[in-house]
Structure formats: C-alpha cells, structure tokens
Structure 1
Amino acid sequence: MTTPTTSLFLLDHLADDAMTSELARGDLDALRAVADWIETFVVRPHKDLGRPGPVCPFVPGALERNTLWLAPEQLAGQGVPQVVELLNRYQTLFLDTPPTDGDDVDGKVIVVVFTDLPADRAQGLFADALQRLAIPSYGDHGIVFGAFYEGNEGTAIYNGSFHPFTSPVPFVFVRRGVISDWKFFLDNEELLRLWGRRFGESAVSTLAGELRRLPWRAWHD
C-alpha cells in the first residue's frame, strides 16, 4: 500500500457502470455510501448545527466545480506508518491535480475512503496518523486533513452536542487550508501560529471581525 490507487471519482461517476467497472463491489458500495451521506447530510442545513447554511460550507462549491473526488483504499490490517505514507502520497497527488493555481485551488478536496476499515479501529488509527501529519503538512504546504468515522465524538463549533463527523464509512479528507480554519486551531497553539504566519494581515482582520461581533467590551465592564 505504498502508492495511492490514483482512481479519483466524482460523485456523478458512481452511477456510471462504465466508470466504475474495475472497482471491487465492496469498494463501490463504500464510495456510494459516502457520496449519499455527502448529498443528504453534508451539503444541507441541520437544525442542530448552531448556524445557518450547510453542515460543511466548503463542500457545495467543490461539488459545483467538480473538484471533490472520492478515492477508495484498502488497509488490509496495516497500521499507522502505512496510513501516514499513504496520506502523504495523497497530499502530493492533491497538490499536483488541477486546478493548481487560482481561486479554485482552495475549493478542491480528495476524500480517501478506507473501504475495509472497521469504525472501531478508525479512531485510534486516524488520531495517531494525523498527529504525525498535521503540523508538517500545514506548515510546509498549507494542507489540512480531517478524519470521519462512525462514533466520532468531534462536535460542531457552535453546538457542542452536535456530532457532524460521523460518516457511514471511515475516511480522511485532504484539502487546502482556508482562513476560516482558525476556529479549528484555537486549542492547538502551533497550528494557530502557523495559520497566522500563512495568512498574515488577513488573519488579523479576520479575528478582529469576529471580536467586533462579540460583546467582549460589556463582559469586561
């Protein structure tokens, strides 16, 4: 498992038998389950989200521009070093896959679907792998990874009782970091520092805009 499949599927491809003829049945079923979850949950509003708009504001634009791909991978019982190696290679694939410049770069994402990974093993495996990847990948390339699996206890930013990261099949997304990611970095000083370095004056303006909407002056008084 040292090389990605490099089989990248748009969601529309999954309904085309000619496009998926070489996929194993289990891989195809897993991709279709993730695609259905994206279309019925991720791109729609939810009453428990705590803010207006879709569950993930990033995904609708990626689907519209055809820059969200699913990629099937089988772990076959392998461990953290192999996951780290595989995701590093998907990072390279992501960086090399058009668009590679312009505004659309920030709107593309590769979803690496681990089609044979039990959900109860995903938590520890993904946590250990992403701990090794998060800082160097973001610092060197501005790349962000995100882990999804059934039972993921991660919560929405605006509602601590809502768990939006519980996908039907374990996967890790690969995307370019965007300025709004600071909300996910608040409890990680190193990532927040790298975010500030990456976005410079725009980072200051973004945080100032958030503070202006909060009644912190009244709290101080």
Structure 2
Amino acid sequence: MFCGRCGVSEIRIAMARKWMDEFLVHPHPELGREGDVCPFMSRSLSEGHAKLLPFDAREGLTALLALIGELRSELERRGESAGNRRAYLTSVIVPHGLPDDEIVALIARAHGELKGDFVERGLMLGEFWPRHDVAGLHNEAFRPLDSPLPLLAMRHMMLTDLAFLSGDHVDPEAQLTYLKHFRRLFGDTLTGSWPSRLESAEEAARRAYDSASI
C-alpha cells in the first residue's frame, strides 16, 4: 500500500519501483527468450545502482531537457569509476504534475531530441508509458515498454544494445548513424560472433536506407 501522507511524487516513485520489482526483474512467458525482462535491472536494484528521481512535468520541456542533461553528465561521471559495475548504473526520471497523456507527449519529445546524442556518447535513453505499442525484439506480441506510468530511463550502452539500434523498428538513416557510433565505441573490442553481427546489421541498414531512398 502507498502512504496516505506521501506526496504525489513519492507515490509515483513508489509505483515505478513496484513495476520494476514485479516486471523488469523477472522472466515473462511472452518475452520470447530466457532470462529477466531486463537482464541488468535485478543487480542494479539490489546493489543500489538505480536512481529514481521525480520531475514536475508542469515545468515543461526545457526543464526536462536540462534535468536529462544533468543526469547524463552524472551517469558518465559515475561510469568512470564503476568498472564492470557500469552496466548496472541507471537513472530513471518519474514525472508527475500533469495528466499521463501530456507527460507521454513531453517524454516523447525529449526522447526524440536527445536519443542521438545519448547514442553518440555511448549511452541509452529509453521511454516507457502506458499502452506503449513498440513490440518486443523476440516476440511481436510482447510490449516491453508498456509501464503503468510514463518514465524516462538512461544507462550505459552494452553490446546487446545492438538489437535496439538496428532492425525494422528503427529508421534506416538513424540506424546508419547509431551503428557508426556503436562501431566506434565497441569495434576494437568485439570478439566471437559480434563482428559478424555488427556487419550484418550495417549491411541490412544500408539496404533499408537505399530502398527508402528510391
């Protein structure tokens, strides 16, 4: 139960944490692969690497972009000394103060403006909200970004994020840009099947871009 004396921001953060505890850190029958919905979040939460911060959405887009910028810089600083724990560093913005549909529109604008910058820096910026219709990577019927309230999350990029930066769900021109940054960040360290997986993603992105340009 939520505290009757808590403010709206505290209640929203409690709702977000409850969803993370009950959904993200467990397997799901519709996920389409083994493991938790989010492979990194269980350790992130248990070791205290996840930060949930409120944001009054009535302050508007400029204030939200400023907060994202501050948290992005903080995340980069945290990552410098985190070593192998860098994968578990997460910051989640929990907006409040407006109807959810207005918050969703605000998050979508911020995400659209900043995702490219995040990828260039080796970071990921993810948006979540109720009835989010983006399909899962391993099961088109699964909706991994469907959350009980609008959220905006950021973390360091991992090799497995290749799947989120390429494919039919990403604009072909954006894919080429994202993959260029991915190669710059990881190209010299790729082993095993990763070089061929990256090359395949690049080739598919070029074909998709060429087809869209005809």
TM over 0.5: yes
Which one of 116, 141, 145 corresponds to residue 97 of structure 2?
A: 116
| C-alpha distance in 2 between matches for 1:194 and 1:98 | 18
Deviation at 1:24, TM superposition (A): 5.3
Which one of 87, 90, 107 corresponds to residue 71 of structure 2?
A: 90
Equivalent residue number for residue 74 of structure 1: 56
Q: Does 1:177 align with 2:157?
A: yes
In terms of fraction of residues, the more helix-rich structure is 2
Deviation at 1:210, TM superposition (A): 9.0
Contact 1:152/1:165, CA 8 A, preserved across alignment: yes
Which one of 107, 121, 124 corresponds to residue 88 of structure 2?
A: 107
Q: The residue matched to 1:29 in structure 2 has which SS?
A: helix
Q: Does 1:193 align with 2:180?
A: yes
Deviations 1:48-91 (A, max 9, x none): 11011111112012123220111111121x43333222211111
Contact 1:45/1:54, CA 8 A, preserved across alignment: yes
Equivalent residue number for residue 7 of structure 1: none
Equivalent residue number for residue 63 of structure 1: 45
| C-alpha distance in 1 between matches for 2:188 and 2:73 | 28
After superposition, the Cα gap between the structure-2 partners of 1:203 and 1:80, relative to the gap in structure 1 and judged at 3 Å, is: farther
After superposition, the Cα gap between the structure-2 partners of 1:45 and 1:210, relative to the gap in structure 1 and judged at 3 Å, is: farther
Structure 1 unaligned blocks of 5 or more? 1-14, 18-22, 212-221
Compute the TM-score of the two structures, normalised by the length of structure 2.
Answer: 0.79
Contact 1:146/1:174, CA 8 A, preserved across alignment: yes
Compute the TM-score of the two structures, normalised by the length of structure 1.
Answer: 0.77
After superposition, the Cα gap between the structure-2 partners of 1:201 and 1:98, relative to the gap in structure 1 and judged at 3 Å, is: closer
Deviation at 1:209, TM superposition (A): 6.3
| C-alpha distance in 2 between matches for 1:32 and 1:74 | 16
Equivalent residue number for residue 11 of structure 1: none
Counterpart of 1:51 in structure 2: which amino acid? R
Equivalent residue number for residue 168 of structure 1: 148
Equivalent residue number for residue 205 of structure 2: none
| C-alpha distance in 1 between matches for 2:159 and 2:13 | 29
Equivalent residue number for residue 211 of structure 2: none
Structure 2 unaligned blocks of 5 or more? 200-214
Q: Which region of structure 1 is more displaced relative to structure 2, 179-188 or 87-96?
A: 87-96
| C-alpha distance in 2 between matches for 1:45 and 1:174 | 22
After superposition, the Cα gap between the structure-2 partners of 1:99 and 1:71, relative to the gap in structure 1 and judged at 3 Å, is: farther
| C-alpha distance in 1 between matches for 2:136 and 2:189 | 24
Q: Does 1:34 align with 2:16?
A: yes
Equivalent residue number for residue 9 of structure 1: none
User: Over aligned residues, Cα RMSD in angstroms?
Assistant: 2.6
Equivalent residue number for residue 206 of structure 1: 194
| C-alpha distance in 1 between matches for 2:55 and 2:154 | 14
After superposition, the Cα gap between the structure-2 partners of 1:50 and 1:109, relative to the gap in structure 1 and judged at 3 Å, is: same
Percent identity over paired residues: 24
